Amino acid sequence: MYETSKQLFEKAKHYIPGGVNSPVRAFRSVGGDPLFIAWAQGSKVYDVDGNAFIDYVGSWGPMILGHRHPTVIEALQHALERGTSFGAPTEAEVEFARMLVEAVPSLEMVRLANSGTEATMSAIRLARGYTERTEIIKFSGCYHGHADDLLVKAGSGATTLGIPDSKGVPDDTARHTITLPFNDLDAVGKTVDANGKAIAAIIVEPIPGNMGVVIPRIEFLAGIRELCDHYGIVLIFDEVMSGFRVAWGGAQSLFGVIPDLTCLGKIIGGGLPIGAFGGKREIMENLAPSGPVYQAGTLSGNPLATTAGLATLKLLAQPGTYERLEKLGNDLTREVDQRARQAGQAICSNRVGSMFSIFFTNERVIDYKTALRSDTVKFSRYFHAMLKRGVYLAPSQFEAGFISSAHSEEDVTKTVEAVEEAFKEV
């Protein structure tokens, strides 16, 4: 029996908390009912109601080649003929690890996991085991998955100790996390000077995407690197979102700042669940079975995920891929900015490569504090105005948008036309 998105959502709420398996999908921040997707192809998704949308969610980042790329699908079909999971080493995961190590500057060794959350959680544990310290620093608005010690929010002041951001997170766990403002090197310096010998790691998204896209100051990342070197702190780049998105070697290759450990996910699985973390051999060899820091996973190195990942990375490595993504991103944001000026709309466009955000604010968004001053009511109206015109954006002011290599110049033109009309309604 044919069911609409609305009917499916009502049914889902009986069996799934909130009707969704990840909170932002519920459309709570923009209002209305979520789309239930039936299928996708290239730059477009199609819902169960028969509507087509130009897709800038891209499964929240992984679909950099677009949906159902024929090369990835063919590789997966061959892999399926051999089996879906073995719980044992495979040739594909060795080749996959080799490709990651050769591509990402910080990687000398890498361990595969099943999600970005697993990767960041494991990297934190490894940093603590390696340094024999307990405290970590993260930054307001940087999301690193839902592990207990990373689900904290900033309070007042530059060196506020962690306050749980979710029920179920013990205060004693969160208190080991210090939260600082992103892009504020002075705050980091003062905190590290006061607590340096207790801090195991500083974890940061080099390009945050979960408060919307925020562009880092180069001196901010470079300054953190210097502080970590001075105090023996492990610097962790969470490149789950930016890895292979903004450049072949990730944000670290783009900005020339090399961390000790890097966390990856999303794109490297080619649309299948995956995570990875890696870095200096000296640190990585502390992982079991080589060392005393335990980490494991039944489905880690899954043959389907590594197959899709290998196929995706090989396509991304082809000449001209990132140049084209850069051009599409530049064309889109330039035209959106122009339409905003013509409509008298105050917006801030932030973009790095093929990830972008449009904030409804008249100031530059440089951190979590300035992001939160955006007009979320206006964004909600904008979101629905765009959806009505066949453009699917992330249903939150504080999420990134993603362009794929499957997007065409025609897609960009149609999107800009939709933006022009949407600005009249918000």
**Which residues are the active-site residues?**
143, 238, 266
SS3 (DSSP) at 177? strand
Q: Which residues contact 285 (CB under 8 A, 6 or more apart)?
A: 109, 291
- Burial (CB count <10 Å: 0-12, 13-18, 19+), residue 406: buried
SS3 (DSSP) at 301? coil
- DSSP one-letter string for 94-149: HHHHHHHHHHSTT-SEEEEESSHHHHHHHHHHHHHHHHT--EEEEETT----S-GG
Query: Radius of gyration over alpha carbons of the chain, in Å?
Result: 21
Say what angle helices 376-388 and 409-423 make with each other, to 10 degrees: 130
- Burial (CB count <10 Å: 0-12, 13-18, 19+), residue 344: exposed
- Beta-carbon neighbour count of residue 319 at 10 Å? 6
> Rounded to whole angstroms, how far apart are CA atoms 277 and 125?
12
> Rounded to whole angstroms, how far apart are CA atoms 418 and 388?
9
- Alpha-carbon torsion (315, 317, 321, 322), positive or negative: positive
> Rounded to whole angstroms, how far apart are CA atoms 42 and 75?
17
